[in-house]
Structure 1
């Protein structure tokens, strides 16, 4: 393969809901470009894209697949992305390193929730969009209805370039209103027959042609002036107007294909080659210091690793984009993230599992390498006199969590190594070793996401694992003030132990005034504050520690030990053993012994006094509450709301957004445990949701009692 310059390279992401036909389209594109001689199929498990065993097992794309084609002296780097929302990481990664999104729409269903999600990501990243209506040969395909839905959702920017003459099993012809030609095929597909538009289609074609000309002209003042004068543009002028409109997201062209028979794919490739913007025409990327980095081959050498794959007999395959300069086989580079040196021994361009060696790649190009020593996903390698770092890929929050453990405890270390390695392949798998919950928790995007992880551990790594429910990180706090004192005294020959602590605990709220006086059982306790320490707890909330001891009853040097004793009890609340938070402690009196008092004595006295006071201060359990947004077709709104109400969710609002209903609610984390499964079941997989931590709130009394009883039973089991 020859070396392509930055102004000859185009980077494209293939997106779409599960079942929209991306893998089949990718196969057709490779076939049309001559890279493969025969098209594979998902059913036959022989496609270029879905080549991992887990993908062939489930019949779904799990990983994004990088491939490239050469087309009319241009290089198209294309990333075929998984359609399932569970594997959204692949789509987000691809969008961040490409410059053009092609979003497939299933001709049977029209725009789906997955379509909306993909479009939302392109909107956030300001990426150009082409819509591609696929499966026009489906019985259920109603093209006019699909176009109507798209224009309702995406507005007048959605402009047809093609339309089918008929849809369903008899589909074999379409009208192209950019070229003003009719394309038709034999039933089995093959090369198109290109003819003039028949008379019966001319009025419709002319109407759509004028709309396209006007949409193209709007993106360039010169073209707009010509359009006003002549009411038409040449093909080249239209292409120029569309290209500028793509870059600014002011036009979303709509194409038609039947990828399964390769109908319309060659014409799509022509458009991608002729019209889609080159890398050099897109906005510059910023490094972590906010500086623009131009995609120029003459610039300093800088490459960004966006994806890691692990393949049998090869090991790690590291995929990168050349952000600046020209990377050559044999280059010695510095890892800006890890401080290590790395030699790029070989460079390849990819077509799924097939790799072709090349001597070098210029700025904007995408390639891969193998056998790197110390490079992880997200790392940047630089040449001399360059210190770029890139961190522009932001992944969504996890939606589904399970605790994982090896069936054989001896495999625990091996399991952790495998999980960390797999996270390199998919950064949306988040691995947490929770000291608080005493569990290893895997956070993912859905039940299918984690099921895939388990399949791979058991089949690829030969590790038997099991999932169990992840514990909920409850918190404990208090609701009223309480007082307690405790004397720790121990005498066992020689120096003894003595420490006595009197303290008051009360709920703490941000901005509350310092205490002046307390009253318990008719007795007043006046405060004389000597010092105050505010501890930001690593698990959230605060502990405010006030020294109000007068007359030297406790020496100041023992205060750190008293605070330490209190902190130890904050780490294990009396109700469920959960972390405590938002408590103010005032130490106001005590006693010490001139010989026997020491730090350990006061630490133990403080721990017991705090525990006694906490139990008498109206202790309550807090649970994590999450903000939930559900995107759901209107037909399922009632069922989704009923399900949420059964999960103790509080509905906060409803909106209509881009043809779908957006439901906003607050929901306890415990009730989110299997929500992705339930929502998929209710809506047939046509809804999606996002979550974000909101706050900790008091649990209802009946649930608090159940949690306390459960904790007591656990303690009893341990004692036995």
Structure 2
């Protein structure tokens, strides 16, 4: 698209892109047309359907709404749905009016006033269609944000006008960068006491290293906040009517002129750093026109060089319509985003997908839900179209599937459709697949790149209360399928069912859902931290496994060394088995058995029985017996050799370290920091904002249990905190000794 736009650069903006392209196609030589994407060229000129498709794509936006917890994402989405006519009345997020927000469709979400599952909807604004995904803010549900951003073309990052950039904002920023998602920023809660949007803009520049500038300034502040001045259109906008449904345009108030001129100049300066056209205008000391401003901000935002900052108060129904205009003006349509697939038939060669309905079908199943009528599979169509009753192929399994029912989601409601075009987000029923599966029409062997799934950091043992029912395993299987960060396994020794996840709240929610949705009440054990074991220096091994008990025995000898290994950034792996045996001392058919023995040893470390990380096993030599050697013998020999060398390699236990962010009134700063020190926390950063202070610290997860109660009592209920997994680090020596002694006692008790 940008190629065609550059060829059409001289045309005035009033000419529609479709009309301009049509005139270009008629005049262009065939050699130029061969460079155009599918959907243009001679085929396009003669096909009305393709012209319609291009027009539809130009008017489509796929966006996500992401932010730190309690920044007002769901409230903002509720207002967007109201102003676009998708809902008839506004409801309170916390469900105080007995209804609750449209996008929080689960009873649990309404009770707790938080978003647990991302919810999809779509709305129309003018001639444009917007697919919206409202994501959770709580770090425990980070996978919901991850998979939403994986399939979206743009995002709205919401910030609180008082708290600004918080811990989860930094996580969301990292996720947006991971998937190259252009974003606009919206400073919400402008009616709050202490609201200061320009301090938040500075935080975006300093903490997130973004080129950001305000495209609006507030009219009034705190409880006097009544509207915004648009620095691009050079007009003041007010919301009137019972629910702010009327957007009224007026001249800028005289007393705001100096601030408006200053901030407009700052906007031009920031844009000049990232856009050549504005740089030329700036050097000539001119002011860009509204059209030049909009085009430049759009170019810079889509190329990830700039984020425009808007402001308003969703709760007070102020300045949400200008946000909708900004979504249309500045965020990309599906043709302006490059989505890449891997062609399996050509050795996973990268292929750029063409977002046109005339192309062969490629779609990604990015989220699963158990619906009333079977599995509901959320699908992003990258190219081609998906029709009800058509046959599609799951690339991973090779299975051909008929699409029984297609729907467009509106939170928990759904609307049946016969077809979803390229660039759309919808859902299909009755198709069995896994999250992250790629579907094609069968002519292509493409697969989409997988999304990043963080490792669980906390575990609980789970026992059904009373008699075990089939619903217990049914619920656990369903939750595992829906949520890649929720894991279930049965402990081989205690035979207990262990569930693992991203935090205490994450696991609590699933236990609660089992009770409500499957009528299975469960008892949970004490939370257990996901410790890891590793080595800090290399160690050699030379181990012989011999067993003779009548008949053929067992014999296998392995020689080599264990060495510490750093995580590979590309693959994410930090364990490896390296075979360097030459001369056939270990027959090649036994090498896979040696690798299996190594993998067996990784599952349960010798120190406290937790998985082993950061180890490479190098197999250098060995010996075999013509009769007694077997796969089992070499598997056992490798496992035992690992344990022997592990003990000599200065082993250590690693514990998950959490990045904890706390906000509390300034008078409690001493007791909060004292509490962190008591929990072996390391303070990374402190910041004071008027009456409140923010502190960021790295604290071992093992020391964080019960912290919410302690913080509440230390701050008279006014403090709040959030935490996020940072990395695994070695535990202190005395803690390691205690953990090993406890593990030995546990093993001795089981042996009795």
- TM-score range (shorter-chain normalised) is 0.7 to 0.9
Q: 2:263 aligns with which of 183, 204, 208?
A: 208
Separation (CA, whole Å) in 2 of partners of 1:240 and 1:319? 33
Q: 2:443 aligns with which of 382, 385, 396?
A: 385
Separation (CA, whole Å) in 2 of partners of 1:507 and 1:709? 33
| TM-score, normalised by the number of residues in structure 2 | 0.74
Deviations 1:101-151 (A, max 9, x none): 211112342221121211121122221121111111223423344344334
Separation (CA, whole Å) in 2 of partners of 1:84 and 1:39? 24
Query: In the alignment, what sits opposite 2:332?
Result: 277
Query: In the alignment, what sits opposite 1:305?
Result: 365
Query: In the alignment, what sits opposite 1:583?
Result: 644
Separation (CA, whole Å) in 1 of partners of 2:391 and 2:623? 63
Query: In the alignment, what sits opposite 1:416?
Result: 473
Q: Is the 8 A contact 2:407 2:416 kept in 1?
A: yes
**CA, structure 1 residues 400+140, in 2 after alignment: closer, same or farther (shift >3 Å)?**
farther
1:28 aligns with 2:87: no
Task: For residue 41 of structure 1, give the secondary structure of its aligned residue in structure 2.
Answer: coil
Q: Report how far residue 346 of structure 1 moved.
A: 2.8
Query: In the alignment, what sits opposite 2:509?
Result: 452
Select the structure of larger CA radius of gyration. 1
**CA, structure 1 residues 692+420, in 2 after alignment: closer, same or farther (shift >3 Å)?**
farther
Q: Report how far residue 433 of structure 1 moved.
A: 3.7
**Which structure would you say has the larger RCO, counting Cα contacts within 8 Å and 6 or more residues apart?**
1
**CA, structure 1 residues 269+714, in 2 after alignment: closer, same or farther (shift >3 Å)?**
same
Separation (CA, whole Å) in 1 of partners of 2:649 and 2:467? 36
Q: Report how far residue 673 of structure 1 moved.
A: 8.2
Query: In the alignment, what sits opposite 1:625?
Result: 654
Task: For residue 228 of structure 2, give the secondary structure of its aligned residue in structure 1.
Answer: strand
Task: For residue 261 of structure 1, give the secondary structure of its aligned residue in structure 2.
Answer: coil
Q: Is the 8 A contact 1:296 1:363 kept in 2?
A: yes
Separation (CA, whole Å) in 2 of partners of 1:242 and 1:98? 19
Separation (CA, whole Å) in 1 of partners of 2:220 and 2:241? 13
1:461 aligns with 2:518: yes
1:9 aligns with 2:60: yes
Task: For residue 270 of structure 1, give the secondary structure of its aligned residue in structure 2.
Answer: helix
Give the total of aligned pairs. Answer: 638
Q: 2:385 aligns with which of 301, 305, 326?
A: 326
Task: For residue 283 of structure 1, give the secondary structure of its aligned residue in structure 2.
Answer: coil
Separation (CA, whole Å) in 2 of partners of 1:139 and 1:254? 20
Alignment of 1:153-552 (within 5 A): 153-155=207-209, 157-186=211-240, 188=242, 189-229=244-284, 231-287=286-342, 289=348, 290-311=350-371, 313-372=372-431, 374-408=432-466, 410-411=468-469, 414-435=471-492, 438-469=495-526, 470=528, 509-510=562-563, 535-536=594-595, 537-538=598-599, 539-540=601-602
Separation (CA, whole Å) in 1 of partners of 2:650 and 2:468? 36
Separation (CA, whole Å) in 2 of partners of 1:335 and 1:561? 35
Q: Is the 8 A contact 2:557 2:622 kept in 1?
A: no
Separation (CA, whole Å) in 1 of partners of 2:261 and 2:544? 90
Task: For residue 68 of structure 1, give the secondary structure of its aligned residue in structure 2.
Answer: strand
Separation (CA, whole Å) in 2 of partners of 1:398 and 1:81? 20
Q: Is the 8 A contact 2:68 2:168 kept in 1?
A: yes
Q: Report how far residue 447 of structure 1 moved.
A: 0.7
Q: Report how far residue 80 of structure 1 moved.
A: 0.5
**CA, structure 1 residues 225+448, in 2 after alignment: closer, same or farther (shift >3 Å)?**
same
Q: Report how far residue 344 of structure 1 moved.
A: 1.6
Answer with 167-176 or 16-25: which moved more.
167-176
Deviations 1:495-539 (A, max 9, x none): x789899x999996449xxxxxxxxxxxxxxxxx99569834113
1:52 aligns with 2:106: yes
Quote the RMSD (CA, aligned, Å).
4.4
Q: Report how far residue 370 of structure 1 moved.
A: 1.5
Answer with 694-703 or 340-349: which moved more.
694-703
Q: Report how far residue 461 of structure 1 moved.
A: 0.7
Q: Is the 8 A contact 1:432 1:440 kept in 2?
A: yes
Q: Report how far residue 174 of structure 1 moved.
A: 2.0
Separation (CA, whole Å) in 2 of partners of 1:347 and 1:482? 59
| TM-score, normalised by the number of residues in structure 1 | 0.77
Q: Report how far residue 239 of structure 1 moved.
A: 0.6
Task: For residue 102 of structure 2, give the secondary structure of its aligned residue in structure 1.
Answer: coil
Deviations 1:288-333 (A, max 9, x none): 623222222221111111112223x333221111011122222111
Deviations 1:145-167 (A, max 9, x none): 43443343245712001121222
**CA, structure 1 residues 342+207, in 2 after alignment: closer, same or farther (shift >3 Å)?**
same
Task: For residue 29 of structure 1, give the secondary structure of its aligned residue in structure 2.
Answer: helix
Separation (CA, whole Å) in 2 of partners of 1:148 and 1:485? 64
1:119 aligns with 2:173: yes
Separation (CA, whole Å) in 1 of partners of 2:75 and 2:534? 54
Separation (CA, whole Å) in 2 of partners of 1:402 and 1:673? 15
Query: In the alignment, what sits opposite 1:608?
Result: none
1:707 aligns with 2:743: yes
Q: Is the 8 A contact 1:446 1:677 kept in 2?
A: no
**CA, structure 1 residues 303+475, in 2 after alignment: closer, same or farther (shift >3 Å)?**
closer
**CA, structure 1 residues 483+446, in 2 after alignment: closer, same or farther (shift >3 Å)?**
closer
**CA, structure 1 residues 353+410, in 2 after alignment: closer, same or farther (shift >3 Å)?**
closer
Q: Report how far residue 359 of structure 1 moved.
A: 2.7
Separation (CA, whole Å) in 2 of partners of 1:486 and 1:98? 55
Q: Report how far residue 87 of structure 1 moved.
A: 1.0
1:109 aligns with 2:179: no
Q: Is the 8 A contact 1:219 1:241 kept in 2?
A: no
Q: Report how far residue 678 of structure 1 moved.
A: 8.6
Q: Is the 8 A contact 2:531 2:653 kept in 1?
A: yes
Task: For residue 132 of structure 2, give the secondary structure of its aligned residue in structure 1.
Answer: strand
Separation (CA, whole Å) in 1 of partners of 2:632 and 2:288? 82
Separation (CA, whole Å) in 1 of partners of 2:444 and 2:554? 62
Query: In the alignment, what sits opposite 2:133?
Result: 79
Answer with 47-56 or 638-647: which moved more.
638-647
**CA, structure 1 residues 674+399, in 2 after alignment: closer, same or farther (shift >3 Å)?**
farther
Query: In the alignment, what sits opposite 2:721?
Result: 686
Query: In the alignment, what sits opposite 1:558?
Result: 628
Q: Report how far residue 265 of structure 1 moved.
A: 0.8
Q: Report how far residue 211 of structure 1 moved.
A: 2.4
Task: For residue 205 of structure 1, give the secondary structure of its aligned residue in structure 2.
Answer: helix
Q: Is the 8 A contact 2:239 2:317 kept in 1?
A: no
Task: For residue 518 of structure 2, give the secondary structure of its aligned residue in structure 1.
Answer: coil
**CA, structure 1 residues 25+418, in 2 after alignment: closer, same or farther (shift >3 Å)?**
same
Q: Is the 8 A contact 2:382 2:422 kept in 1?
A: yes
Q: Is the 8 A contact 2:212 2:270 kept in 1?
A: no
Task: For residue 558 of structure 1, give the secondary structure of its aligned residue in structure 2.
Answer: coil
1:129 aligns with 2:183: yes
Alignment of 1:632-671 (within 5 A): 632=661, 671=702
Separation (CA, whole Å) in 2 of partners of 1:333 and 1:242? 39
Answer with 177-186 or 301-310: which moved more.
177-186
Q: Report how far residue 459 of structure 1 moved.
A: 0.8
**CA, structure 1 residues 566+296, in 2 after alignment: closer, same or farther (shift >3 Å)?**
closer
